[in-house]
Amino acid sequence: MASSSLFTSATDADDPLSKALQPPPDESPDDRALRLQQQREAQAISHRIDEDIQESKKAFDRRKKAIKILLLGQAESGKSTTLKNFQLAFSPAHFRNERAAWKTIVQLNLIRSIKRLLEILQDEWDQSVRPSRPDKGKGVAGRSPPGPTVRFSTSPLTDTHRRIRMRLSPLISIEEELTKRLLPEANEKVRDVCVRAGSGWKGVLTSVSSNHIERRPGTAEGRSKDDPTAVLAACRDDIVTLWEDPVVREVLKKHNLPFKVHSFLNDAARIATLIYEPTDDDIVRARLRTLGVEEHRFTMENGALPGSEWYIYDVGGSRSNRPMWIPYFDDIQAIIFLAPLAFNLMLEEDSKVNRLEDSIMLWKEICGNPLLGKTTLILFLNKMDILQATLASGIRVSKYVPSYGEQPNDVQHVTKYFRDKFRGYHKRLSPQARSFYWHETSVIDTRSTAAILVGVREGILRAHLQSVNVI
């Protein structure tokens, strides 16, 4: 025992760590108390690091078990609207917690439409002004005598319209300020309301809508200076009058823009009030373009496996954003691909490229990508409401898609034609055999979309459980 004790003491004496931990021989009581306090603090920090590591591991394990969905499609195909439908249907509490931010987005959508309407009216005035000289008889050699140039307008718009336009001008400065807060690098060419992924824009807008003192219901007292609510309410009658004016409608028709400025203008009387709160349909319809890739995590509140975690990635669909898609191909269970049946429209980035042709090209690339060989692909033939209106207006598919030929120009036949195209590429290009899932959608219709998403969710969940050998 003595030799063992001597061996242990020798080892401890030679151990640098043991030496470092030994108190100094001349340690005072105060120094000892300080040393012990520092040791306790170091131990507490060590415990917190261990806890953080454990929490990170748990989060990693949860994320690994979570269901991950990628929304793909060109810009303005309906990806963000589909995401909002998912949240509304399966995580309604989370969806409604963000109502304050979406209130400002809806108001900004309305102001953007008003701004576009005023621009069209200004274009009408500019194009209809003609120079003229008063007829004062002929001068020397038959030439008109010199005189002041008189400018007159051939536009049906009147001074009343001009006065309304002037009274609505304060909305433009509010629109510019909010746009800069959402996207500081935005310029005048940006037509849509845009945000950059990961910018925390919802927090910014929630503060705009909520950063005010307690106020009496129906009053503007205490509102944030950036809150557009009060100015919209003050302009409400002018907005409604201008939008419902038959002369203005004729000008819009003349400029071939009957549908492009209508976002929320039909609801202006309801939205432009001091007590406005957005409905679920308002939030789903609100237009917002996301630049970059935005991850949305939510917990399933109802249906199968409540409490399960889902991640949905909303990626920018413009051509410059498409290279960002590839890193997300590796670890997802399903892709929802949105293809608007906009056979008569062109890409915003390239006016020579048909939007539907671009969607088909993207679909071919997705189907043939080897990284996605085991991924469930779900096709949404979207904007069926617009397709129906387009065909009802007499526009023929064969004018833009010659291969359609003389088939009936109705929704049923047109939808089947394009569905079969997408199905054929899916079958030929997929690296291995897989089922073809497709739905006809109008994702701004929350009720019909909710029914579709229930089936989509169940299919994705079943495929996920099979992949992890649960069923």
Same domain for 279 and 187: yes
- Residues 65 and 189: their CA atoms lie apart, in Å, by 43
Within-domain flag for 9: no
Inter-residue long-range contacts of 206-210, CB under 8 Å, 24+ positions, other chains counted: 206/98, 206/100, 206/101, 208/104, 208/178, 208/181, 209/100, 209/101, 209/103, 209/104, 210/100
Residues belonging to the binding site are 290, 382-385
Residues belonging to the binding site for Mg(2+) are 290
CATH code, 76: 3.40.50.300
Same domain for 256 and 350: no
- Residues 286 and 269: their CA atoms lie apart, in Å, by 17
Q: Are strands 334-340 and 376-382 parallel, antiparallel or unpaired?
A: parallel
Full pLDDT tens readout for the chain, 471 residues: 444 444 444 455 566 766 666 777 777 888 888 888 888 888 888 888 878 787 766 665 566 678 888 899 888 888 889 999 988 888 888 888 888 889 999 999 999 999 989 998 888 888 876 555 555 444 444 455 555 554 555 778 888 999 999 999 999 988 888 888 887 776 655 567 777 776 677 777 776 665 543 444 444 454 455 679 999 999 999 999 999 999 998 888 887 765 555 679 999 999 999 999 999 999 999 988 877 778 888 888 766 667 778 888 887 766 666 666 777 677 788 999 999 998 998 887 788 889 999 999 999 999 999 888 888 999 999 999 999 999 999 999 999 999 999 999 999 999 999 999 999 999 999 999 988 999 999 988 888 888 898 888 888 877 766 665 544
In this structure, what DSSP letter does residue 468 have?
T
Residues belonging to the binding site for GTP are 382-385
Residue 462's pLDDT is: 77
* Closest by CA position to 386, among listed 347, 343, 352: 343
Same domain for 280 and 312: no
* Closest by CA position to 179, among listed 167, 191, 165: 191
- Residues 75 and 190: their CA atoms lie apart, in Å, by 13
Radius of gyration of the chain (CA): 32
pTM score: 0.74
Counted domains in the chain: 2
Domain that holds residue 234: 98-127+156-191+201-211+224-285
CATH code, 120: 1.10.400
Same domain for 86 and 104: no
Within-domain flag for 365: yes
User: Which parts of 62-167 are beta strand (E)?
Assistant: 67-72, 129-132, 150-153
Within-domain flag for 400: yes
Residue 207's pLDDT is: 67
